[in-house]
Structure 1
Amino acid sequence: MRDLFTTGTPQTIADVLHSKDERVHRQQQLLAQFPQGTVVALKMNVPGPIKTNASLWELFAAGQRQFETQFQDAEQLQTPIVTTTSAGTEVFYVFALAGTTAKQRAMTFEDQEPLGRLFDADVFTSDQKRYSRSTMGYPVRRCFLCDRPAKECGRNRTHSVAELQAYFNQVATEVLGDD
């Protein structure tokens, strides 16, 4: 079985928060540049302090390819922007789609087993609307380990980093094969 977490630079909470601030800034820039577009930010929810390395990037790229199949017929207003820092890899898309349509397609990807479960796709429009499952009347995402609401498990630290990483390793082995 693969072990995705043997190499890489450990990140601090401050590093992760800085990355989040940069993501928000990039989203705002794209919304200002393409006010009629819908911005979709795709990232992988990597557990623990190692957020990127060659194996995690390979897993991200496989997920990105799956994600893009949900949007293959959608007009893109901007070439996808991929950023990789020590805090992880993200890709930003701008589509000529309604926000609800983009979120429905993103949810289809997120709900795919097993790879889509590792990702979050955030959807925004220039009127500063963020599309979420709950605002669209869909149930919240479920934890991939116990089926409770994912945010509840994250907030309560219901599962150890080792348990979450074991799930990632299992998915990587299924999707990418053994090393």
Structure 2
Amino acid sequence: MTATHQITLEQLLEARELRAAHQKELIEKYRLPLVSFTVNMPGASKKTPDSSIIFREGCNALVKRLKETDCVLEYYVSKDPDTGFEAFFVVKTDELSLKALMLEIENDHSLGRLFDLDVIGIDGMPISRETLGNLKRKCLLCKQDAHICGRNGGHTTEALIEKIHSMVDSYIKIIT
């Protein structure tokens, strides 16, 4: 994967709507909480060599963590539209316990800051980090709240992508 496809804001918004619809279908079908996994990737190119590695490692970390617990993976599917890699994991467990497991992965894995592991409860509502007493995510480059920093354009897309590439490179060196 070398050339990357540039997406538009309209495509990104449509992908979010489709993802939300798929989440709703899965919750209605299984009546269990689910993890909706995407990669935190800035810019108009969502499918890059780095995002591919991040996605693969995130899926592996999630499945490994579920196997280490008494959680049962009821359903799994991954997709790779131009708008970015995404996976859905329906898990037989308590939704707050599932959120705690996903926070552990995000906090402990070397690439965890780049994982977006959203837990959707059986009521269809996302469970926030703050529900379990965790702080909002910090920016990759500074200590500000990531959403505020991103909204205010605190850093260039190039600087963020360079940081992500550095994180992936460091991770690869550790595991090889």
Fold in common (TM above 0.5): yes
Q: Of 17, 40, 47, which aligns to 1:45?
A: 40
User: Once superposed, what is the RMSD of the aligned Cα atoms?
Assistant: 1.7
Report what 1:64 is aligned to: 59
1:141 and 2:137 correspond: yes
- Give distance in 2, aligned partners of 1:171 and 1:46: 13
Report what 2:90 is aligned to: 94
- Give distance in 1, aligned partners of 2:170 and 2:62: 17
Report what 2:11 is aligned to: 15
Report what 2:168 is aligned to: 172
Report what 2:74 is aligned to: 77
Deviations 1:79-119 (A, max 9, x none): x1101000110110001111110111111111125301001
- Give distance in 2, aligned partners of 1:55 and 1:164: 12
How many residues matched?
Answer: 171
Deviation at residue 55 of structure 1 after TM alignment: 4.5
Asked if the contact 1:59–1:176 (Cα under 8 Å) also holds between the matched residues in 2, the reply is no
1:8 maps to a residue whose letter is T
SS at match of 1:70: helix
Change (3 A) 1:40 1:113: closer
Deviations 1:120-157 (A, max 9, x none): 11111222232101233321111121121111111111
SS at match of 1:174: helix
Unaligned runs of 5+ residues in structure 2 are: none
Unaligned runs of 5+ residues in structure 1 are: none
SS at match of 1:92: strand
1:33 and 2:29 correspond: yes
Structure with larger RCO (C-alpha < 8 A, sep 6+): 1
- Give distance in 2, aligned partners of 1:56 and 1:120: 12
Report what 1:155 is aligned to: 151
1:132 maps to a residue whose letter is S
Asked if the contact 2:39–2:51 (Cα under 8 Å) also holds between the matched residues in 1, the reply is no
1:30 maps to a residue whose letter is L
- Give distance in 2, aligned partners of 1:55 and 1:156: 25
Change (3 A) 1:137 1:58: closer
- Give distance in 2, aligned partners of 1:144 and 1:88: 19
Asked if the contact 1:7–1:50 (Cα under 8 Å) also holds between the matched residues in 2, the reply is no
Change (3 A) 1:53 1:162: closer
